[in-house]
Amino acid sequence: MSRKNRMKDINIPPLAGVKPQAITMTGNQGLFFSSDGAARDFNSVLHEVQEYISGKYATLITDGGTEEVKAQIKRYITKYVQDYRIAVSGMSQKQMVDALYTEMAEFSFLTKYIFGAGIEEIDVNAWNDIEVQYSSGVTKKLDEHFDSCEW
Beta strands, E only, 48-89: none
* Per-domain residue ranges of the chain: 36-106, 110-141
Please list the rounded mean pLDDT of every run of 10 residues in the chain (151 residues): 50 53 46 63 95 91 82 96 96 96 90 93 95 96 88 59
- For 46-65, the pLDDT digits (tens) are 999 999 999 999 888 777 67
- Across the beta sheet with 129-134, what order do the strands follow? 119-126, 129-134, 139-141
How far apart CA 52 and CA 57 sit, in angstroms, is 8
